[in-house]
Amino acid sequence: MISHIKESAKEAGCSNPELIDRALEHLQPESGSAIRAVLDAKIVDEDAFLRQIGRRFGLTVWEGFGSLSAERIRDLRKCFPADAARKRGIVPVHFEEGQPGAEATLVLASTDPFDLQAHSFASRESDYPIQWLLARPQTIRDGLHALYGVGDDSLDDLIESRLNASDTDQWEQTMVLDAEAGSASLTSLVNDILRGALEQQSTDIHLDPLGSDLRIRYRIDGKLKDVPTPENMGSLKSAVISRIKIMAKLDIAERRLPQDGRIHLELDGKPIDVRVATIPSVEGETVSLRLLGQEVFHLEKLGMDARMVATVKNLLTMPNGIILVTGPTGSGKSTSLYAFLSEINDPDTRIVTIEDPVENRLEGVVQIAVKNDIGLTFATGLRSILRGDPNVIMIGEMRDLETTEIAIRAALTGHLVFSTLHTNDAISGVTRLIDMGIEPFLVATSVRAFIAQRLVRRLCKSCKEPYRVNPAVLSGHDWSYPLDGHEAPIFYRAPGCQYCRGTGYRGRLALYELVVITGAMEELISSRASSRELLQQALRDGYVPMRDYGFKKALEGETSLDEILSVTTSPSRAVESALVGAFA
């Protein structure tokens, strides 16, 4: 058997026999795993190696769970306890029915189906005949997580203590006290919840009491996803929430009022910053956690096309004026602002921000957090900033007339100012400022550009595939992007795979539209021109509507047509001819 594994390693990219021998030299005959030893040595391509093993021994490579029903989870959990399955690296996959009257077969996945200890354990614990599948180590970890739930290994000791307790209510109170004392098991459980979110590139975690249960959800690529939890997790909901509140330095006795806090910790050697918000509900306290500090801010990583990057870089060199980023909550405005600041951050430039709250730390930048309860508002903070000799100012949001007026005065007196607005598109930024009470001539002379943005999910690179769309279908969506009317354009979609956990998407990208305030646009704004006239002028200046920007991204295979349609609106039919001309 060892000879077959060595040959498989060679065929999977390891041409040096000495490396293979070195990986296997300390293998224990009765308890060692030759396959894991080769994989742990990182001398082969995982997928190629497992395919070769499967070919030589007639084993199928398991790609992971597509989707799991609650009934299937219940049935498979009965096969083995979570701690035992995790310790031996075994995932119960499904029951395979045989011939009528014959006993079903239990299908198990393992990185090494030849592991004698795993075989012995499975045969001892199960009354069913067993069939083995091969799987990558990460697939096994994902499978265990999907089946047994987040924090299952941390929960075992806690649940065992509950089963041994004579008074359940007293036990739950003891768990809350343990949370205050920093129980290792509870801390490990909370860390597992955070670790699972980081592994799945989640931005938010929501813990919501539902009756006697605790519902945990991750926001992944902008969509909320239920996280499997171990049985009996509900009995620990008060303890888990109390532990999070303690980590965030909140008052655990206060359950009637909302509270906000932050957690700073190191997880697997990586510093993590978590913003925590609690909300009292009729079911009990809910907790929302925003995971921060995971991003590196670079202009080139925002995903703008080359033309827009060049325009933005030119805007960032301006000595004064306001650059406004618009869009709804959660559209990535703060990320864009941080990237802009990082681009111009150097020892010769004093940059000061006022934010509510400070979401990420930028080295070399003075960052101020709004504290309304003590009178530190955007407006009061901005006045103080202007007395501190800044070159560049970033205001988290222009919420009111007072803040906006101070920002405009700052821009007109030699400061470069960045901020955000909540508008549906870039052109609407003009009317929004005027509606707030700013004189049109001040908008025209102080604002340099409006950048609108939305986030869409990125297609999974591992499973995306091309397909053609009838141009007649597109015409119903008021596209202005030029197409060859005689040939169906090629778009992309993704059916889902193990890498995207069956969703067809992995990661997100931003869609943009940029309106630069040119001389002609200044005159129109000062004369109170209509939105239609402003749009027509923007098109003459090179403006590309967000839907058309997204349409191009869909044609390039970055995202799907459905994603573009879900976040963008059709260009105005009133200026349809001008739109077509903009792409000529």
Enter the tokens of residue 356: 């509510």
pLDDT confidence band for 574 (50 / 70 / 90): very low
Average model confidence (pLDDT) for the chain? 85
Q: Per-residue pLDDT for 83 more than 60?
A: yes
Q: Please report, for the domain that includes residue 441, its CATH number.
A: 3.40.50.300
pLDDT tens across 274-318, in order? 999 999 999 999 999 999 866 678 998 898 999 999 999 999 999
Average pLDDT of the residues in 513-517: 97
Per the rule left: phi > 0, alpha: psi between -120 and 50, beta: everything else, 351 is beta
Domain of residue 368 covers 299-567
Q: Report which of 336, 486, 485 is spatially closest to residue 421, judged by C-alpha positions.
A: 336
In a shared domain, residues 304 and 288: no
Rg (CA), the chain: 29
Would the pLDDT of 557 be above 80?
yes
Instruction: Tell me, yes or no, whether 343 and 368 share the same domain.
Output: yes
Indicate whether 584 belongs to any domain: no
Which residue from 120, 144, 165, 141 is spatially nearest to 68, judged by alpha carbons?
A: 144
Among 113-122, 160-169, 334-343, which range has the highest average pLDDT?
334-343
282 plus 340 within the same structural domain: no
**How far, in Å, CA of 218 to CA of 120, rounded?**
37
Q: Is 342 contained in some domain?
A: yes
Residue 420 domain flag: yes
Over residues 456-469, the pLDDT tens digits come to 999 999 999 999 98
Is there a single domain that holds both residue 100 and residue 166?
no
User: Would 13 be classed as within a structural domain?
Assistant: yes
Does residue 284 share a domain with residue 181? yes
**Final residue of a structural domain among 247, 278, 293:** 293
Number of domain units in the chain: 3
The H-or-E segment that residue 273 falls in is strand 270-281
**Same domain flag for 457 and 488:** yes
Report whether pLDDT(92) > 50. Answer: yes
Of 92, 122, 148, which closes a domain? 148
Average pLDDT over residues 551-571: 90
Q: What sign does the dihedral 166-170-172-178 (CA atoms) show? A: negative
Q: Is 146 left (phi over 0), alpha (psi -120 to 50) or beta?
A: alpha
Do 77 and 99 fall within a single domain? Answer: yes
The residue to which tokens 């010769």 are assigned: 348
Pick from 513, 82, 578, 101: nearest CA to 92: 82
Residue 468 tokens read as 């053609």
Tell me: do 282 and 380 sit in the same domain.
no
Contacts 24+ apart (CB under 8 A), 114-121: 114/1, 114/33, 114/34, 114/35, 115/33, 115/36, 115/88, 115/89, 116/30, 116/31, 117/31, 117/88, 118/88, 118/89, 118/90, 121/80, 121/84, 121/88, 121/90
What's the CA gap between 313 and 310, in Å, rounded? Answer: 5
Residues 505 and 390 in one domain: yes
What's the rounded mean pLDDT across residues 131-149?
A: 87
- Mean pLDDT confidence for 148-153: 73
Per-residue pLDDT tens over the stretch 244-276: 999 999 999 999 999 999 998 888 778 888 999
Residue 582 in any domain: the answer is no
Query: Domain for residue 417, yes or no?
Result: yes
Quickly tell me which residue has 């990219």 as its tokens: 13
Asked, for residue 544, whether it belongs to a domain, the answer is yes
Whether residue 181 has pLDDT greater than 80: no
Domain end: 116, 148, 180, which one?
148
Confidence of residue 579 (pLDDT cuts 50, 70, 90): very low
Residue 233 located in a structural domain: yes
Q: Is the separation of the CB atoms in 300 and 309 below 8 Å?
A: yes
Is the same domain home to 467 and 544?
yes
Helix, strand, coil distribution of the chain in percent, nearest 5: 40, 20, 35
Tokens 């699972």 sit on residue: 196
pLDDT digits (tens, 9 = 90+) for 340-368: 999 999 999 999 999 988 888 899 999 99
- Whether residues 342 and 399 share a domain: the answer is yes
- Tell me: do 93 and 168 sit in the same domain: no
**pLDDT at residue number 488:** 79
